[in-house]
Structure 1
């Protein structure tokens, strides 16, 4: 079950679970985590409640799964209640449980509450907690809190390029150009580099890897041409590049759209369209969080080309079918 879920085949994981003659705690926990990581929060919670009805006591992993489900589905009150319920089961929260609550609050826009939650933890906060909040500050445009969080991160680790990128983009998005330039200068002084976007797709038992914008793959030019053709078709159904997360003041809208065109997941999807049978499912894995424009593009490809796309980014699986994603555009 765990293998199928982590490889993107939730249906096979469900089939194994349903085919079991008896289910112990571990099986329930694995299935709850599987539903959660694939964006099916309500199903994860339903399974959790069914588990309790059958008299099986949840453990720390079970609660981690249900908290993860709530955080990725916007179920704030439910998630906070489950977090409180851990005490009733004699379970002491660990750093991952605290991370889910931080994510739950931050995604819902309760940024100051999330900051206070981290700051008052009974254990030392990790970088992941602060980075979770920094990402949410970027999404919500809260530059003042973002600066406080960014400074807390630098106290722990000043070598991670993603932190600088998120905060400098937040500054650019809110017109704080001097602060943005200061952050980018600091990044250069420390020799910190941004991790390049990389996406892979498996076709005929061979994994093909694409990097954003470059030509390392032997069929990269073929993939780029296919991206051009795909985008031309998507424009006929209303696709307009989402440039809201391209923060280069010197670029006009056309240049911003061009910078988005050959992101790694677009190249991988285009390559998959070229090299698989019509109707075949495309499975793509990306090393970073998918950007809004690539998410929009993937949804439209699933509808226009009648393809199911299962895309695993840094945080979760996205099941895209008929123009709809399992994440409900909440990621």
Structure 2
């Protein structure tokens, strides 16, 4: 560009952050400052987002503190990035205190960010405190109940898990089904976890079976640690994982595109650990580049590696 204004720099930083290129986003921020361009609130949002998605805790906190040097008052999204930064790195108590002491009223989304991290780190006690704070602000979001009930199940607190699911039922809160889409020949194909509403769902399921068998040859083992059904055995858990919407979309893409074609998938929820592992192996075994956009970010799978560095 002949003229790079503040907006152009900021957009590039946010894009780098979304795709997991944290260091590149930071380098761009420093280069922008060298060019004499003053950052604004959007610029800092990109920098903080990059730090939180790349595990750069100290750098992110330093940039957050430097906002005042430019006369920028943090907004709720900046606070959200810092919460995410601390929570992802396992500093759950510090993140809780950060939210609790904000100069503005925290939103349910901030607490929700911390709840997801509690689940990721297996801290059910902190998760319970956070879940209760969320319900004070918004008791209609199905994802909150699912995350906390799964956390209870994962730590063997079955009674609490049942109480949460009962509460969910009483309030009429519904879990959002997983859905993934892929565009092939200008047509969008949408798959839901486990069901057969797509006209080619049986075809996609058969392809999933073939793909899984090939992946097993290079070490794929279903990660059933996030399937929380007491009545299910390991084999049943593996079966429930097998037909997640991401796997159906990826397999359908393999079946209906030429070898070497990049597969672009959109998922309405956060990609699960098992599907993430499967996508990495598919990219290596089938020599495909897969770009998966989930609820939080872009994942670029290539040669058995993901751009997120398994930090998502």
Partners in 2 of 1:58 and 1:141 — Cα distance? 37
Runs of 4+ in 1 over 2 A off after TM superposition: none
> Could you tell me which of 202, 220, 237 is aligned with 2:218?
237
1:113-155 alpha-carbon deviations (Å, 9 max, x no partner):
0000000000000111000000000111111111110001111
**1:23 matched to 2:11:** no
**1:295 matched to 2:276:** yes
Partners in 2 of 1:256 and 1:107 — Cα distance? 27
- Name the SS of the counterpart of 1:196 in structure 2: coil
Structure 1 residue 249: Cα displacement: 1.4
TM-score by length of 2: 0.99
Partners in 1 of 2:125 and 2:7 — Cα distance? 43
> Could you tell me which of 282, 290, 301 is aligned with 1:309?
290
1:233-287 alpha-carbon deviations (Å, 9 max, x no partner):
0000000001111111111111110010000010000010011110000000000
Correspondence for 1:14: none
Correspondence for 2:244: 263
> Could you tell me which of 47, 51, 59 is aligned with 2:32?
51
- Name the SS of the counterpart of 1:209 in structure 2: strand
- Name the SS of the counterpart of 1:244 in structure 2: helix
Structure 1 residue 22: Cα displacement: 1.6
Partners in 2 of 1:293 and 1:204 — Cα distance? 28
Structure 1 residue 200: Cα displacement: 0.5
> Could you tell me which of 156, 175, 180 is aligned with 2:156?
175
Structure 1 residue 190: Cα displacement: 1.0
Flag structure 2 segments of 5+ consecutive residues without an equivalent: none
Partners in 2 of 1:251 and 1:49 — Cα distance? 52
Correspondence for 2:118: 137
Task: Give the aligned CA root-mean-square deviation in angstroms.
Answer: 0.5
- Name the SS of the counterpart of 2:224 in structure 1: coil
Partners in 2 of 1:96 and 1:238 — Cα distance? 40
**1:323 matched to 2:294:** no
Correspondence for 2:134: 153
1:89-109 alpha-carbon deviations (Å, 9 max, x no partner):
110000000000000000000
**1:34 matched to 2:34:** no
- Name the SS of the counterpart of 1:318 in structure 2: strand
Correspondence for 1:203: 184
